Chains A and B, each alone.
Chain A
Amino acid sequence: MALLALLATLPWWAGDLYQLHLAALIAAYWILVAGLNLVVGFTGQLSIGHVGLLAVGAYAFAILAGRYEWSPWIALAASGGIGGVCGLLLGLPSLRLPGFYFAMATMAFALIIAELSLALGNLTGGGVGLSVPSFPVPFDTPAGFYLLLLGIAILITWLTWNVARFPWGQALIAIRDNPVAAESVGVPVFRLKLAVFVLSGITAGLAGALFASLQSYITPDTFVFELGLFFFVCIIIGGRGSILGPLLGTAILTALPELVAPLAKLGNLFYGLLLLAVVLLVPEGIGRLFEIWFARLRPKQPASHILQPDTARLAAAIRNGHQP
């Protein structure tokens, strides 16, 4: 709660506009990562190409709201819908494939979207790019837009938290840990995978629209493949099967290269090193590491109780049969 209040009042105490922009960027990324987390962290489908869906949402918003001058709200909803449809089209063939094949299919999807955004120049502006309109009053200022992003991010977090909390989430984890066993106890494996993937497509479309509006100008170079890798790394580093972990991962990984200048020069090399370190040392993710530390810090439960047998009652029970 205190954290929420802190986040909500950020525009009034943030040092400068750049920090506010960074916070808004984290929120936009998180909207995508929250949906992707259900796919990667819970269902265990390693999608490394969600940047393609982000690009689809961004271009849909830029074209609908910019060129056809739709209301940004309707365009935002449409971007989410288009993201969901693309998720469905991508998921239908690829979710049937085993692990590495699926990862390659999503990577190929990201490359295809990058290719199409360059090739379909009269729709997307080609290499020149498109300018993206901002949202109407009161969301046209940096502070207002940040609050809008924060609101949507909280909504999405709450949504995914609900999915994870209820038997749905358990079924997803079952699919991740053992698909054959999950199927044998009646989990509709493919349908659930597809539903979660479409949901992640919708959040990616929404995130793309908001991200595009935040950046105010998009080109195919905005959506490099490494950005998809970045989302993926956020989740793995944060820890699979958790929501707080990836949230922290997104916030830290977005902010760190901006605040520590030498890391920005290393860029994606830094993400690669981080991913390798996490996979080799703590495959459960940093979030799990925190849990272990917290468990250590907490006062220990009393180790043992000495049980005194109630001999009188025992003797009586033996004498009278089983009456108490």
Chain B
Amino acid sequence: MFAVLVTGLAIGALYAATALAYNVMYSTSKVLSVTTGHLAMLGGVFGAWFVTSLGWHPLFALPAVLVAGAFAGWLTDVIAIRRVLKRSDEHLWLLSTLALATILQQAVGLWWGTEPKPFPRLLPQDFSAGMADQKYWLPIITTLLMAAALELFYRRTLYGKLFIAMSEDTFAARARGIETDRIRAASFAIAGALGALAGFAAGQLTFAFFALGLTLTLNGFIALAVGGLGSNIGALVGGAALGLLNAFSANLIGGEYQNTVSVGALILILLLKPEGLFGARNVRPV
């Protein structure tokens, strides 16, 4: 039972990290990007490539992965968001990020191969530790650190406050002289780095697999919707709850019903509490 608990928390941490990346992008642009899960996938794939194929030390691979993720996030903004947000059509960004996500996934599939490849050890530790193995605690610690850093960033730095200002009212922020386009690009780069970091830290759990992105996009979104859109605490709680639910349902009724169970939980929560556990109630636009 303890093993199930730890596995659930570890995979839940990855979901929570994805939900955090969603939140960072959502705060400045009100866009839920389909590429969010793919950012984590890139972290895993690039991490494995740097360390295993190129033979870099994990300490050098980490900043390279962060840069690659930030670049991918920034690219998302430049290609799929910037031009689309200028038009008034509401759901165009859904299409453009979906297209970009498909391109990313298929490009990685063509380059990296469609089989999951093993992810290297990041820290020197032998395989006898059992449930204290790094592949379980690494994603959990990373995600907690990420959430704490984001909280500090939002509360203590000027840039963080600009993010909050933009999430409250973009037009008012722009009228006050904030360069909203640049802040949005920065938020996408940060989200990319966070996503890639999560994928890197959880790589030993998920393997370097090109199709991971879509699963994470869905499960990160479920964690976010359960916890409440825009809330970082909600993202953590939602991710942990979803991971535990997945692990326990896999243990009790079998792993082949994983998506069915998590989506069932999502629909139940959305019916009972549409704004999520920690979300702000949405006012309908008229």
Q: Which residues of A contact B (CB under 8 A)?
A: 44, 46, 48, 93-94, 97, 99-101, 103-105, 107-109, 111-112, 115-116, 118-119, 180, 225-226, 229, 236, 266-269, 271-273, 275-276, 279-280, 283
> Is B32's beta carbon under 8 Å from chain A?
yes
In order of increasing CB-CB distance, the 5 nearest A-B pairs are: A272-B102, A119-B256, A269-B106, A276-B99, A275-B99
Residues of A contacting B7 with CB < 8 Å?
none
Shortest CB–CB separation between residue A197 and chain B, in angstroms?
16
CB < 8 Å: which of B94, B102, B214, B263 contacts A269?
B102
Known: A111-B259, A275-B98, A276-B80. 5 other contacts (CB 8 A): A46-B91, A272-B99, A273-B99, A279-B95, A280-B83
Please tell me if the beta carbons of A280 and B260 are within 8 angstroms of each other in the complex. no
Residues of A contacting B182 with CB < 8 Å?
none
Q: Which residues of B contact A (CB under 8 A)?
A: 32, 79-80, 83-84, 87, 89-92, 94-96, 98-103, 105-107, 110, 214, 218, 221-222, 225, 254, 256-260, 263, 266-267, 270-271, 284-286
Please tell me if the beta carbons of A269 and B103 are within 8 angstroms of each other in the complex. yes
Residues of B contacting A273 with CB < 8 Å?
99, 103
Residues of B contacting A116 with CB < 8 Å?
257, 260
Pick from A46, A104, A119, A267 the residue with the most CB of B within 10 Å. A104
Residues of A contacting B221 with CB < 8 Å?
100, 104
Residues of B contacting A99 with CB < 8 Å?
90-91, 94
CB < 8 Å: which of B32, B90, B260 contacts A115?
B260
In angstroms, Cα B271 to Cα A93, docked, is 8
Please tell me if the beta carbons of B110 and A269 are within 8 angstroms of each other in the complex. yes
Pick from A180, A268, A272, A279 the residue with the most CB of B within 10 Å. A279
In angstroms, Cα B84 to Cα A276, docked, is 11
Please tell me if the beta carbons of A271 and B102 are within 8 angstroms of each other in the complex. yes
In angstroms, Cα B103 to Cα A275, docked, is 10
In angstroms, Cα B102 to Cα A225, docked, is 11
Q: Can you spell out 12 A-B residue pairs with CB atoms less than 8 angstroms apart?
A: A93-B267, A105-B267, A108-B218, A108-B259, A112-B259, A115-B259, A118-B256, A275-B98, A279-B96, A280-B96, A283-B89, A283-B92
Please tell me if the beta carbons of A272 and B94 are within 8 angstroms of each other in the complex. no
In angstroms, Cα B100 to Cα A2, docked, is 40
Residues of B contacting A267 with CB < 8 Å?
106
Q: Which residue of A lies closest to B255 (CB)?
A: A119
Q: Which residue of B lies closest to A97 (CB)?
A: B270
Residues of A contacting B94 with CB < 8 Å?
46, 99-100, 103
Residues of A contacting B260 with CB < 8 Å?
112, 115-116
In angstroms, Cα B64 to Cα A224, docked, is 33
In angstroms, Cα B100 to Cα A128, docked, is 33
